[in-house]
Chains A and B, each alone.
Chain A
Amino acid sequence: MPIYLYLDRGSIVHRLNPTVKVFALFIMFWSVYWVDHPLALLPLGLLLVAMAQLTHSWPNFYRLRWLFILLIFFTTLAWMVFYRKGPPLINTRIIHLSRASLIFGFGRGLKLAELLATSVLFLSTTKVEEFTAGLQRLGVPYRVGFAITLSFRLVPLFIDSALTVVQAQSLRGYEFNRGGPLERVKRYVPVVIPVFMGALRKANNMAMALEARGFGVSATPTSYIDYPIRTRDRIAFAALTGLAIVYFLIYYTGYGDISVK
Chain B
Amino acid sequence: MPREPAQITTNVAAALEGVSFTYAGSDRPALSQVRFELRPGEMVGIMGASGAGKSTLAKCLNRIVPRFEDGSFGGVVRIGGRALDGERVCDVASMVGMVFQDFEAQLFSTNVAHEVAFAMEQIGMPREEIAARIGPALEAVGLAGFDDRDPTSLSGGEKQRLAIASVLALRPGVVVLDEPTSDLDPEGKAEVFALIRQMRAQGLSLIVIEHEAEELRNCDRIVLLREGEIIADGRPAEVMIQRKLLEECGVHPPDINRVMNLLGIDRHAGSVDEAEAIIRARFPHLPAAQEGTEAIADPASLPRATIEHQPPLLRVDHLSFAYPFGPRVLDDVCLGIAAGEFIAIIGQNGSGKTTLAKHLVGLLAADDGKIIIGGRDRSTLHPAETAQEVGYVFQNPDHQIFAATVADEVAFGPRNFGLDDAEIARRSEEVLSAVNLTAERDRDPFLLSKGERQRLAVASVLALRPRLLILDEPTTGLDYREQRRMMGLISELNRSGIAIVMITHTPWLIAEYARRVVLMRKGSVMFDGGVREFFAHDEALANSSFRPPEATILGRRFGRSALRPEELATWIKDSA
Contacts and interface: CB of A to CB of B under 8 A. Distances in A.
A214 B93 contact: yes
Contact of B399 (A161, A213, A221): A161
A127 B110 contact: yes
Nearest to A217: B90
Interface in B355-404: 358, 361, 363, 383-384, 387, 391-392, 394, 396, 398-402
Interface string B134-161: 1000000000000000101000000000
Interface stretch (B245-253, B337-345, B411-419, B522-530): B411-419
B110 A150 contact: no
Interface string A162-205: 00110111111111000000000000011101100110011011
Interface string A209-225: 11111111110111111
Interface residues of A, number: 53
A153 B114 CA distance: 14
Nearest to B402: A193
A170 B131 CA distance: 49
A261 to B, nearest CB: 51
B14 to A, nearest CB: 15
B384 A175 contact: yes
Nearest to B166: A213
B105 A217 contact: no
Contact of B121 (A175, A210, A211, A224): A224
B90 A157 contact: no
B70 interface: no
A74 B62 CA distance: 55
B463 to A, nearest CB: 9
A133 B413 CA distance: 49
Contacts, number: 172
A175 B167 CA distance: 46
A217 B91 contact: yes
Q: Chain A interface mostly helix, strand, loop or mixed?
A: helix
Contacts of A197: 398, 401, 446
B59 to A, nearest CB: 8
Contacts of A217: 3, 88, 90-91, 93, 122-124
B554 interface: no
Contacts of A257: none
Contact of A201 (B3, B134, B398): B398
Interface string A136-172: 0000000000000110010011000100110111111
Given A193-B402, A194-B398, A222-B127, A167 B363 contact: yes
Contacts of A215: 90, 122
A224 to B, nearest CB: 4
A246 B258 CA distance: 83
Contacts of A205: 100, 102, 105-106
Contact of B89 (A153, A174, A212): A212
Given A214-B123, A217-B124, A171 B392 contact: yes
23 contacts: A127-B110, A150-B108, A161-B399, A164-B396, A167-B383, A170-B384, A171-B461, A173-B387, A174-B412, A174-B416, A206-B106, A209-B100, A209-B102, A212-B93, A213-B119, A216-B122, A217-B123, A217-B124, A222-B124, A222-B127, A224-B114, A224-B121, A226-B127
Given A172-B416, A172-B461, A226-B127, 4 more contacts: A209-B100, A212-B62, A216-B88, A224-B130
Among all A-B residue pairs, the 6 with the closest Cβ atoms: A173-B416, A214-B122, A224-B117, A214-B93, A209-B106, A205-B105
